[in-house]
């Protein structure tokens, strides 16, 4: 059981029903937070929240598609109505479409990726941060190594993840004097259903693993503790920063 670093904190984790997001929900809840698991997949989100509740963890589900402005507005309005504040916002939800080169990427794929990854993160910051202005808080955005270096056949994804890095730095400056800290996690290849699906084959996934200095993909539980730390008072002087968790991939 984790230390109660986040006792009585109100936390939102988007994309919390699967993969890295689900592990973050567990980590924050075990650290004492009241966690709202937000996901667009209602049946799965409800089922996962119930699983956490059977383990005596304070997790509730709320449906949210971060790409839809009205849903985001209503979501944070309801958070404010119920809790009157928000202490932690983890912007984990996102999609990845390997659509090919820029000349092969359709406008639909481009708009869908930007609308979810970059605009969705922007909207959650825009409507979530005001709930932190009274008492302070912590926002954790999620980028990718593709946002730092170029990657083949995923131009829209890479651009959104680069945008999230700049969004993090800019917003961190805007709220630095209000005790609201905004940081960014940059995971490498993490062994999740989404990551395996985006590679298209077991063989390609294993090939990618061999290109990592540590010779393996990361695990969701190797991401979640950093999130909990950054959301705690132990990280009170950390804002506007990137944290690479990638087995050495970006050291090459």
Asked if 37 and 49 count as a contact pair (C-beta separation under 8 A), the reply is yes
Asked if 85 and 138 count as a contact pair (C-beta separation under 8 A), the reply is no
Q: Which of 69, 119, 62 is nearest to 94 (CA)?
A: 119
Asked if 20 and 92 count as a contact pair (C-beta separation under 8 A), the reply is yes
Count Cβ atoms within 10 A of the Cβ of residue 140 and give its class: 0-12 exposed, 13-18 middle, 19 or more buried.
buried
Say how far apart CA 239 and CA 179 lie, in whole Å.
Answer: 10
Q: Which of 41, 29, 31, 24 is nearest to 5 (CA)?
A: 31
Count Cβ atoms within 10 A of the Cβ of residue 81 and give its class: 0-12 exposed, 13-18 middle, 19 or more buried.
exposed
237 is catalytic: no
Q: Indicate which residue of 127, 152, 157, 237 is catalytic.
A: 157
Which ranges of the chain would DSSP assign to H, the alpha helix? 19-30, 42-54, 69-83, 107-113, 119-128, 155-174, 193-199, 202-210, 224-231
> Torsion-angle region of residue 116: left (phi > 0), alpha (psi -120 to 50) or beta?
alpha
Catalytic residues: 157
């Amino acid at each position: 059981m984790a230390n109660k670093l986040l006792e009585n904190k109100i936390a939102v984790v988007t994309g919390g029903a699967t993969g890295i997001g689900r592990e973050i929900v567990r980590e924050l809840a075990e650290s004492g937070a009241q966690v709202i698991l937000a996901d667009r997949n209602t049946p799965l989100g409800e089922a996962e929240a119930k699983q956490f509740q059977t383990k005596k963890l304070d997790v509730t589900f709320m449906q949210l598609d971060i790409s839809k402005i009205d849903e985001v507005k209503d979501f944070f309005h309801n958070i404010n109505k119920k809790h009157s504040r928000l202490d932690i916002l983890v912007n984990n939800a996102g999609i990845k479409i390997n659509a090919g080169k820029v000349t092969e990427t359709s406008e639909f794929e481009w708009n869908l990726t930007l609308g979810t990854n970059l605009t969705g993160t922007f909207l959650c910051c825009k409507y979530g941060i005001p709930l932190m202005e009274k008492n302070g808080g912590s926002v954790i955005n999620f980028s990718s190594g593709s946002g730092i270096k170029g990657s083949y056949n995923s131009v829209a994804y890479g651009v959104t993840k680069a945008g999230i890095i700049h969004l993090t730095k800019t917003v961190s400056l805007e709220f630095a004097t209000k005790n609201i800290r905004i940081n960014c996690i940059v995971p490498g290849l993490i062994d999740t259903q989404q990551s395996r699906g985006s590679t298209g084959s077991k063989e390609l996934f294993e090939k990618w693993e061999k290109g990592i200095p540590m010779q393996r993909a990361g695990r969701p539980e190797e991401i979640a503790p950093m999130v909990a730390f950054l959301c705690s008072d132990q990280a009170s002087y950390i804002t506007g920063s990137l944290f690479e968790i990638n087995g050495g991939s970006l050291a090459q």
